[in-house]
Amino acid sequence: MASSKHTGGLVLIELITVIVLIGIIASFTTFFIYSGIEGYLNTKNTNEGALNAQMALDRISLELRDLDYFTSYSENSTLTFTSKVLGGTRKLSYSSDAIWIGIGSDNYKLLEKIEAGSFVLSKEVRDLNHDGSDEVAYFEVGFRLNEVGTEFNTKIFPRHMVEDN
């Protein structure tokens, strides 16, 4: 007489093995998806930060290139100046982790999330026209963004002779 064993279906050990393998595959898949998304978001934030920093430096360069006379200067903090081309009194300042541009009595935020202690606003003075008094050879502006970690800086050479105060 022939044996009538039931051989169809899964045995418990086979079922557990399949579940474990699916779990391992799912965990690796999740890790790779998470790594990809995290890389994308880091790249996006870095690119946006760098673009914003470049736009801020372009605006600061535009402002300082056309200055005619500066009324007050505090290294790494504030520069107040006048410009005939741009009209009126302007103020470039750093406070509360942001760079501000003041036009008349209005202040506009150029850039935020500046790393503490990284903002540089300085001037180099020389006797450019050999008249015995110093003029501003150039301004240097620089900073480091929290999100990016790269230092952004530029030297701005005024278009006119600007007497040093």
The pLDDT of residue 5 is 64
The pLDDT of residue 8 is 63
**Low-confidence residues of the chain: pLDDT under 70:** 1-10, 165
- Residue 164 maps to a domain: no
The pLDDT of residue 43 is 92
The pLDDT of residue 100 is 95
For the chain, the domain total comes to: 1
- Residue 7 maps to a domain: no
Q: What is the pTM of this model?
A: 0.76
- Residue 3 maps to a domain: no
Question: What tokens appear for 140 in the block?
Answer: 């240097």
The pLDDT of residue 109 is 94
User: What does the pLDDT look like over 39-56, one tens digit per residue?
Assistant: 999 999 999 999 999 999
- Residue 68 maps to a domain: yes
Nearest to 135 by CA among 66, 69, 73: 69
- Residue 132 maps to a domain: yes
User: What does the pLDDT look like over 13-38, one tens digit per residue?
Assistant: 888 999 999 999 999 999 999 999 99
- Residue 8 maps to a domain: no
- Residue 121 maps to a domain: yes
Residue 141 burial (C-beta neighbours within 10 Å; 0-12, 13-18, 19+): buried
- Residue 9 maps to a domain: no
Identity of the residue numbered 150: T
CA-CA distance, 158 to 165, in Å (whole number)? Answer: 15
Domain interval for residue 111: 36-156
